[in-house]
A and B are shown apart, each in its own frame.
Chain A
């Protein structure tokens, strides 16, 4: 297993377009998290899944954002009608159970909305 994989690494999009990011967690991890990080700030929680169930969603996540984890494997994060304020690093992490083993993060997807 090569760890948590995120694609694409970088995405530049025009304002108003839709974008989708993918995260492949460590295969035996049943929890998957999405965070967003802007320059100089720590990551902010967006949402998390246990297996295929989305258990919590931050109020930061407007109705333009949607995340899925079909079959409890990889996850996608879609942003519709992107805005310049959506420009950030989107980080995915996975873990076993109730965080006993901590998070393993992917390298992130850098989104730039122009």
Chain B
């Protein structure tokens, strides 16, 4: 059974800092790994999708990496802004399409 863990559970940084969010998964037989953002009381917004054959994906100030052999993914946020404050979730997708989510890292960026 796939298990996904995200550390830390919460993170507070001053504006402008670069930061890394961590995601680990127990079963390396994944199809892809997806990072999402969730604002309070809202649905999930997809940020980056990394296929199992890829090592990283970039979008603007975001960079996600994937190391299947070690069961790890990281989300790097450059030059953080107060608008980046949200909960960030990672999800590991099995071949059948079903995803297992971590419990998220709640990020607060202070002005």
Encoded as 1 (CB less than 8 Å from any B CB) or 0, chain A from 21 to 32 comes to 000000000010
Residues in B whose Cβ lies below 8 Å from that of A99: 31-32, 93, 97, 99
Contact A55 B96 (CB under 8 A): yes
Contact A48 B98 (CB under 8 A): yes
Residues in B whose Cβ lies below 8 Å from that of A103: 34, 44, 46, 91, 99
Contact B97 A31 (CB under 8 A): yes
Band of interface residues on B: 20 to 34
Q: Does A43 contact B (CB under 8 A)?
A: yes
Residues in B whose Cβ lies below 8 Å from that of A35: 101
Q: Does A105 contact B (CB under 8 A)?
A: yes
Given known A42-B104, A102-B32, contact A91–B44 (CB-CB < 8 A): yes
Of A12-20, A62-70, A77-85, A106-114, the one with at least 4 CB within 8 A of chain B: A106-114
Contact A91 B96 (CB under 8 A): no
Band of interface residues on A: 20 to 34
Contact B43 A45 (CB under 8 A): no
Given known A42-B4, A42-B101, A42-B103, contact A105–B45 (CB-CB < 8 A): yes
Contact B41 A42 (CB under 8 A): no
Given known A41-B103, A48-B97, contact A102–B49 (CB-CB < 8 A): yes
Residues in B whose Cβ lies below 8 Å from that of A102: 32, 34, 46, 49, 93
Contact A42 B89 (CB under 8 A): yes
A110 to B99, CA, bound (A): 21
> 9 A-B pairs, CB-CB below 8 angstroms?
A33-B97, A33-B99, A43-B44, A43-B91, A55-B96, A98-B97, A103-B46, A106-B43, A108-B42
